[in-house]
Structure 1
Amino acid sequence: MPTVPPEEARPSEHEPHRHREIAESFGTDAERYDRTRPRYPDALVGRIVAGIPGPDVLDVGCGTGIAARQFQAVGCRVLGVEPDARMADRARQTGVEAEVATFEAWDPAGREFDAVVAGTAWHWVDPVAGATKADQVLRPGGLLAPFWHVPQLPPDVAKAVAAVCERVMPDAPFNFRAAMTTPAVDGYQTQFTRAADGIRQAGGFSDPEQWRFDWERSYTRAEWLEQMPTQGAFTRLPPDKLAEVLDGVGAAIDGMGGNFTMPYATVAVTATRTGAA
């Protein structure tokens, strides 16, 4: 299920970076987030690293350091910027240097980087202000590369999620049925387009490209229900309402034999800084 349901939902979702109460809610259970959220394809990390002029990476919205640790593992020096102090604390516990701030307000203090990345986080950043800040901190030839996981729930699980969420969360600012029935990458395309348009408006970059990496992950009932509370639609639900959602989704997974395979696409919107130092 998407961290933020796609943009067909309601007008207020067209600017998700304004939903600060959701953006800064993921630290409710930072340990669970770090344990259950999927890692990023090695091919994505490798392609980013192969295309940058040096090893210095700035990870915007680094969360608990999931992507940062993957870049560290291939020899990069990584600094994270994270608005939620609880998430930043968890990142530090895992060996990632992290500073607490929104990216738009963060002070780079003269530091420069070879890549600015954002793993499933750039939608929480103003797309023009974010790209402008990236232009300020990137070295010439550096890469701006926000990327997102795009999961496609099996139809039976998707219908169950939509039905139970509509019942339990009738006032949520998400159209769950639209989110669950729209082909996942199509649903996220507005988000990708917004990122690319922000880069173009900021100036100083090559024309944005999209990179796509397809993969799959199998989940047991327990594994999926453990991850669901870390998703933006559910991080602020009262415990009784969350339990009702998980019970309904769990029943649907039981009906499929207790497990399912989730197709994922991980999509990056990338652009190279072309301006002078």
Structure 2
Amino acid sequence: MPTIPPERSGNSGHQAHQHHAAAQSFGSDAERYDRARPRYPDALIDRIVAGRPGLDVLDVGCGTGIAARQFQAAGCRVLGVEPDARMAGLARQFGGEVDVARFEDWEPDGRECDAVVAGQAWHWIDPVAGAAKAAQVLRPGGLLAPFWNAFRFPPGLAQSVADACRRALPDAPFDFQAIMKETLSGYQVLLDKAADGIREAGGYGEPEQWRFDWERSYTRDAWLEQMPTQAIFARLPADRLEEVLQGVGAAIDARGGGFTMGYTTVAVTAVRTGAT
């Protein structure tokens, strides 16, 4: 499921960083978020680290520290920046170091790093201001690498899930069918905005895209636990959310109680070249 406002299929979605209320909805159940959200492929972490354990990594919009813990496991030192104190609090419980701030307003205080990463979070940040702030802290040759997980429901299930959501939320102002049939192409606007922001900020080489394909199997209950952590559903009243979950649960039950989700993790990367 997408984690940005569903309006992004129209013009307003191009400015996801302005949706501050949606961006901070995830902390309402930080523990569920940490349990249910998918991790990132080891191949992505390995390529960013590039065989250099001990890197200093800045994790922007670190949330509960999902990506940060993966980088720590790869031998990196990680500092998180997270605007939601509830999410940051849980990340600290897991042993993470986190500054609570919006990244655009965060003060580095002389700190530098070898990589700035952002897992499923860069669209909540002004793309130009974010790239400029990253340039302030990256050492020459350092890497800026925001990344996202794009999903692919198996054939047939996307339509069933969309129908269940539409029945429960008939007045919702967006197209569930388009959302549930999300593919990498649906994320292209995010990738383009990130790349354009890097170019406009200056101080980087030409942005590249990295792609990693993988799969994850879900039981009915595992998928239903993740759905309330998505921006589309996170702020629904409890009774409406329950209607959605019941409908989607029935659709999964009709397929035997589980399914395999295809994921593509895509990163927009750029190397810090020098002073802006």
Q: Shorter chain as normaliser: what TM range? A: over 0.9
Contact 1:53 1:142 in 2 (8 A): no
Contact 2:117 2:145 in 1 (8 A): yes
Deviation at 1:229, TM superposition (A): 0.6
1:188 equivalent to 2:169? Answer no
Shifted more, 44-53 versus 91-100: the winner is 44-53
Partner Cα separation in structure 2 for residue 45 and residue 4 of structure 1: 23
Q: RMSD in angstroms over aligned alpha carbons?
A: 1.8
Contact 1:5 1:175 in 2 (8 A): no
1:151 equivalent to 2:138? Answer no
Partner of 1:80: helix, strand, or coil? strand
Q: Give the 5 Å matches for 1:34-53.
A: 34-50=34-50
Partner Cα separation in structure 1 for residue 166 and residue 6 of structure 2: 16
Match of 2:116 in 1: 116
Contact 2:53 2:76 in 1 (8 A): no
Deviation at 1:179, TM superposition (A): 1.9
Contact 1:204 1:275 in 2 (8 A): yes
In structure 2, stretches of 5+ residues that fail to align are: none
Partner of 1:246: helix, strand, or coil? helix
Partner Cα separation in structure 2 for residue 5 and residue 20 of structure 1: 10
Deviation at 1:176, TM superposition (A): 2.1
Partner Cα separation in structure 1 for residue 237 and residue 164 of structure 2: 15
1:201 equivalent to 2:200? Answer yes
1:230 equivalent to 2:229? Answer yes
* Structure-2 change in CA distance of 1:89 and 1:8 (3 Å): closer
1:244 equivalent to 2:271? Answer no
Match of 2:272 in 1: 273
1:104 equivalent to 2:75? Answer no
Deviation at 1:52, TM superposition (A): 7.0
Partner Cα separation in structure 1 for residue 102 and residue 51 of structure 2: 26
* Structure-2 change in CA distance of 1:37 and 1:129 (3 Å): same
1:61 equivalent to 2:61? Answer yes
* Structure-2 change in CA distance of 1:161 and 1:213 (3 Å): same
- The one-letter code sitting in structure 1 at the alignment partner of 2:213 is D
Partner Cα separation in structure 1 for residue 20 and residue 170 of structure 2: 21
Partner Cα separation in structure 1 for residue 8 and residue 78 of structure 2: 35
Deviation at 1:164, TM superposition (A): 3.1
Match of 2:70 in 1: 70
Match of 2:137 in 1: 137
Partner Cα separation in structure 2 for residue 6 and residue 244 of structure 1: 19
In structure 1, stretches of 5+ residues that fail to align are: none
Partner of 1:267: helix, strand, or coil? strand
Match of 1:168 in 2: 168
Deviation at 1:34, TM superposition (A): 0.6
* Structure-2 change in CA distance of 1:170 and 1:131 (3 Å): farther
Match of 1:4 in 2: 4
Deviation at 1:50, TM superposition (A): 1.1
Deviation at 1:154, TM superposition (A): 2.2
Contact 1:8 1:187 in 2 (8 A): no
Partner of 2:103: helix, strand, or coil? coil
Partner of 1:162: helix, strand, or coil? helix
Partner Cα separation in structure 1 for residue 223 and residue 129 of structure 2: 35
Deviation at 1:13, TM superposition (A): 1.3
Partner Cα separation in structure 1 for residue 249 and residue 178 of structure 2: 21
| Equivalent residues, number | 276
Partner Cα separation in structure 2 for residue 52 and residue 242 of structure 1: 44
Contact 2:40 2:265 in 1 (8 A): yes
TM-score, normalization by structure 1: 0.94
- The one-letter code sitting in structure 1 at the alignment partner of 2:219 is T
